[in-house]
Amino acid sequence: MDFSRRDTLALGLGAAALTMLPFRVNAAADDAIAAFTGGASVEDGGIDLGAPEIAENGNTVPIDVSAPGATAILLLAAGNPTPGVATYNFGELAGTQAASTRIRLAGTQDVVAIAKMSDGSFKRAAKTVKVTIGGCGG
């Protein structure tokens, strides 16, 4: 899905404060990914990312990630002023390589997860979450 600048409008959920977030082509997110992968190439697939299509509440959006065989998973909210959400590290005794959390999203954006696999490769998944002021449902 292509992003226009307007898509990143941060809509205050109470329809109150309204600010424009300039979308800097995910520069901070790209930096975080580069730091995590050390610049290695990243493939799509091999990691499941669960997120709602439309957030019921942008202040607490449930997200879950799962990547069998991963040693670490980096989770980013690409459109937030500070994209970093969490890095999960899995030891050898971890039963599953999965985690879930809730995150705050400033507006409609992609949530991105990068998994570092035990063989040193990197896997990627992303999902668009729409944050809306709501109303009008018939």
Partner 1 sequence: MISRRDFLQVSMAASALYGASGFGNWGRLAAQQRLTQDELLQFDAFGNVTLIHVTDIHAQLKPIYFREPEINLGVGDAFGHVPHITGADFRKLYGVADGSPSHYALTYNDFTSLAQTYGRVGGLDRVATVINSIRAERPDALLLDGGDTWHGSYTCYHTEGQDMVNVMNALKPDAMTFHWEFTLGSARVQEIVENLPFAALGQNIFDAEWDEPTDLFPPYKMFERSGTKIAVIGQAFPYMPIANPRWMFPEYSFGIRDERMQEMVDEVRSMGAEVVVVLSHNGFDVDKKMAGRVSGIDVILSGHTHDALPEPVLVGETIIVASGSNGKFVSRVDLDVRDGRMMGFKHKLIPIFSDVITPDADVAKLIDEQRAPYESQLSEIIGQTDSLLYRRGNFNGTWDDLICDALIEERDADISMSPGVRWGPSILPGQDITREDIWNVTSMTYGAAYRTEMTGEFIHVILEDVALFNTDPYYQQGGDMVRIGGMGYRIDISKPQGSRISEMTLLKTGEMIDPAKTYMVAGWASVNEGTEGPQIWDVVESYIRKKGTVTVSPNNSVKVVGA
Contact positions vs partner 1 (CB under 8 A): 1-2, 4-7, 9, 11, 14-15, 18, 50, 52-57, 62, 100, 128, 130, 132-138
State the nearest-atom distance from the C-beta of 109 to partner 1, in Å: 13
Q: Which helix (H) or strand (E) holds 126?
A: strand 122-129
DSSP state letters, 95-116: S--EEEEEE--SSSEEEEEEEE
Determine phi and psi for 119, rounding to 5 degrees: -85, 5
The least CB distance from residue 99 to partner 1, in Å, is 13
Nearer to partner 1, 12 or 40 (CB): 12
Smallest gap, in angstroms, from Cβ of residue 2 to partner 1? 7
